Amino acid sequence: MPKGASKTRPEKVRCGLCGKTGRLIKTDCCGNWICDDEHKYVLFSFARNSCHRNHSRYTLCAFHHNEGHEGDWKNCERCRTSCETEMYVWYGTNEYNFEKLPNPPPFEPTKCSKCGVVIKLGTEGFTRSGDESWCEDCGAKEMDKTLRRTKGRTVPVPRAVRGTVRLASRSSERNMRSNPTDRMKDPFYAGLLFQIENIICQADDEAKTKGLQLTDSQVKSALIKTQKKLQGGEPDIPETNERERILAELVNCLIHAPDALMEQTTTGDGRAEEKPLNISDWVKALETVEDSVKTRKSHIPGSRDYLDFVHEFIGQAKGMK
């Protein structure tokens, strides 16, 4: 506190990040006062408006604590090796820290494998494809190419995603945790999963209005076919009866849904931007939902355990919005 400041205003506890004096709470990781504002974060939104959420999701301090490491995060070897250097430095020095990492190690900036532009991993959107990293522009171009290859016929934009849907910006934690189960914790992927499951629910509702019942296995097969098509394959999608027509429409909706999805990102100078969704992210999300169907469905033929779960989940998520 600057000299004399305590004379001019009464000693009041403030959020160590933004300085506000409203509702405050102490962080679990470092015991600092912080805005008790997680409730301000809207599910599936892209906001980084919650001090508490920002500190607990985007800092080494919280990561170190949550992972149960020993000692001080600032000289923790396990933290140092759990993500690439650029992210380690970002987690340790971004504005969501009370105390910054002293002497952050140097790192080679990540460059787009296609156009060479420097990608700031902590704050910018990008796509990983094998060993390559693509900037958002190049990722979007790749998506266009893939879509042009895979789009046979034109269909109306699926009802579920009519209009533009803004997705949560991707979490940089994605780099730290990239297996399918952990993807679900990423707000960006959570937004994608929500879109996919919403479309599945609509297909199921559609079937119900025609007196039919879809099964978990049929949904799983539709998800697999969608991924194949998006990756340039030509899976067999019969349409000889009403059930098959509904499933074919489900595949179709899932293929075209990314047209209406926009990703929120922040440019280097902090401006908000919207970019078309990278198709590879959509495919990863489809894979995650497929995993979730596999986990939930029982072995009894005709199982609807996943479908019943997803109706409940989508209903709740909509209620929370």
**Angle (CA) 79 84 89, round 5°:** 70
Minimum separation from the CB atom of position 191 to Zn ion (A):
23
Please identify, among the stretches 71-79, 174-182, 189-197, 228-236, the one whose residues bind Zn ion according to the rule CB under 5 A: 71-79
- Sheet with 272-276, strands from edge to edge, namely 165-167, 261-266, 272-276
Q: Is 244 helix (H, G, I), strand (E, B) or coil?
A: helix
Q: Which is nearer to Zn ion, 135 or 201 (CB)?
A: 135
The candidate with the shortest Cα–Cα distance to 260, out of 278, 280, 276, is: 276
Q: Which is nearer to Zn ion, 158 or 276 (CB)?
A: 276
Question: Footprint of Zn ion on residues 128-187 (CB under 5 A)?
Answer: 135, 138
Please identify, among the stretches 1-9, 54-62, 155-163, 212-220, the one whose residues bind Zn ion according to the rule CB under 5 A: 54-62
Please identify, among the stretches 3-11, 63-71, 152-160, 308-316, the one whose residues bind Zn ion according to the rule CB under 5 A: 63-71
Please identify, among the stretches 5-13, 32-40, 86-94, 291-299, the one whose residues bind Zn ion according to the rule CB under 5 A: 32-40
Confirm if 158 and 253 have CB atoms less than 8 A apart.
yes
CB neighbourhood size of 267 (10 A): 12
The H-assigned helical ranges of 77-160 are 77-81, 85-93, 136-150
| Terminal Cα-to-Cα distance of the chain (whole angstroms) | 40
Confirm if 134 and 114 have CB atoms less than 8 A apart.
yes
Q: Which of 48, 57, 58, 79 binds Zn ion (CB under 5 A)?
A: 79
Q: Which is nearer to Zn ion, 51 or 168 (CB)?
A: 51
Q: Which is nearer to Zn ion, 266 or 303 (CB)?
A: 266
Q: Which of 87, 112, 140, 251 binds Zn ion (CB under 5 A)?
A: 112
Q: Which is nearer to Zn ion, 133 or 288 (CB)?
A: 133
Give the burial class of 154: count Cβ atoms within 10 A of its Cβ; 0-12 exposed, 13-18 middle, 19 or more buried: exposed
Residues that bind Zn ion (CB under 5 A): 15, 17-18, 27, 29-30, 35, 51, 61, 64, 69, 73, 76, 78-79, 112, 114-115, 135, 138
